[in-house]
Amino acid sequence: MTLSEKILARASGRDQVRPGEIVTCKVDLAMMHDSGGPRRVAPYLERLGAKIWDPSKVVIASDHFVPPPDVDSAEILALTRRFAREHEIESFYDMQGICHVVLQEHAHVLPGMFAVGGDSHSPSGGAVGAFMVGIGATEMAGVLVTGEIWVRVPESWLIEWHGQLGEGLAAKDIMLFLCAKLGMSNDYKVMQYAGSAVTALSMMERLVLCNMSAELGAKTGIIAPDAWTLAALREGGHEVGDDALRWQSDAGARYERHLEFDAGALAPQVAAPHSPANSAPVAEHGGVRIDQAYIGACTGAKLSDLHMAASVLKGRKVAKGVRLLIAPASTLTTREAAADGTLATLVEAGAIMLPSGCGACAGYGAGVLADGDVCIASTARNFKGRMGSPGALVYLASPYTVAASAVRGTIGDPRDLLAMKAAA
């Protein structure tokens, strides 16, 4: 069996499962945020007269309406706090950052877990070797009441990236490339990422691969745990034994497709409006004038992302007429970026710092766009109207490429800026 099949077999209490089977799984962890969580599920629990099956398996993070820009948002956050208190949810992160990143920082998701999240980017949990899927609010209410959910066992695809990514390249480039290559309608598949270029990635970079499996239309993404996984979990405060490494695909596991790519041949990618699938090497969009550069979101503003941006921005200034907005993915990210000097580099360059949260990526928070605005963002999606006006044009790229474009004032390749620095 593949890693995913092993997890689903364990969670459904079977010796084995096959793709296509519908099984009922016990949920090891359920994650909710302020938008799709308590405000939506509380009325259902009340109607059903039911309690949460196991509050110790529930994590709540307020990250959408934060900090509240209006009274409606403030009321949603107040309701979220009341819900966490009344239902005795101890793992409640109030305005501490974006749920997927907070979950990983605090090592809530472990190898071999079957987890659900009330957000479409919940596949992020696959970075540690868990099977984590996104669900909607009504379904979350069902999980909270029963502790179970039905799942169709997906076909597994093995996506291997050999070699190593070049300087100025990131996990985001891999995913934008795959969105263009595979399209966005790979429904009901699980993407398992492997290969030397994948295992060389930090845990937060691995999160990007699993996170943006959502953009491929996949059910989820997953990466088998290794020594780095365990180190990250231990750093997050979780006592995890070496036996967690047993969560691997069998040697003879059957994959529906096996795709192999050369990481060394990959160029920085840019997705044109209005779809991540409109990705192409940065040269094809070079010279497009921008009004805004945005470094934010779960997939694009973790410490590793801020490091990428800082490596380009160090000693440089944001171009006149361009606004560079940066919303670190979590308060821990901000603390660490302050401690290691990254924050100083970003603001010296002219970046405008925003609070941690989903923010403008989802059109909820500060930094949304006006009609006709052109933006390049390190976020996961550029659907029409998502980041503000339907008349805005949003390009997607890695934090390296977003930062390089902010310096130039036009979309451009980060590699020559990085090389110039190395030569200086």
Partner 1 sequence: MSGAAPAPRGRAWVFGDRVDTDQLAPGYAMRKPLEELAKHCLEAVRPEFARDVARGDIVVGGEGFGIGSSREQAAQALRFLGVSVVLAKSAARIFYRNAFNIGLPVMIVPEAGQIADGAQLEVDLAAGLVRDTTSGREYRGEPVPAFLLEIVADGGLIPNLHKRLHGKPAA
Q: Which tokens go with 376?
A: 């390049």
Q: Rounded distance, CA 378 to CA 305, Å?
A: 9
Q: 284, 311, 275: which is closest to 399 by C-alpha? A: 311
To partner 1, the closest distance from the beta carbon of 342 in angstroms equals 29
Q: Which is nearer to partner 1, 394 or 404 (by Cβ)?
A: 394
Long-range contacts of 340-349 (CB under 8 A, 24+ apart): 342/303, 342/306, 342/307, 342/310, 343/306, 345/310, 345/313, 345/314, 346/306, 346/309, 346/310, 346/313, 348/313, 349/313, 349/314, 349/316, 349/317, 349/318, 349/324, 349/407
To partner 1, the closest distance from the beta carbon of 137 in angstroms equals 5
Q: Which is nearer to partner 1, 191 or 404 (by Cβ)?
A: 191
* CB-CB neighbours of 370 under 10 Å: 11
The DSSP 8-state label assigned to residue 351 in this structure reads P
To partner 1, the closest distance from the beta carbon of 246 in angstroms equals 28
To partner 1, the closest distance from the beta carbon of 138 in angstroms equals 4
Angle, CA of 46, 52 and 53, to the nearest 5°: 140
Q: Which is nearer to partner 1, 116 or 349 (by Cβ)?
A: 116
To partner 1, the closest distance from the beta carbon of 362 in angstroms equals 5
- Percent helix / strand / coil, the chain, rounded to 5: 40, 20, 40
Interface residues with partner 1 (CB under 8 A) are 35-36, 40, 44, 47-50, 65, 70, 72-73, 76, 118-120, 122, 134-139, 141-142, 145-146, 184-185, 187-188, 217, 219, 275, 362-364, 368, 381, 383-388, 390
Q: Which is nearer to partner 1, 244 or 366 (by Cβ)?
A: 366
To partner 1, the closest distance from the beta carbon of 6 in angstroms equals 21
Residue 135 in contact with residue 33, Cβ under 8 Å? no
Strands (E), 27-147: 29-33, 58-62, 91-94, 114-117, 131-134
To partner 1, the closest distance from the beta carbon of 251 in angstroms equals 29
Q: Rounded distance, CA 203 to CA 209, Å?
A: 10
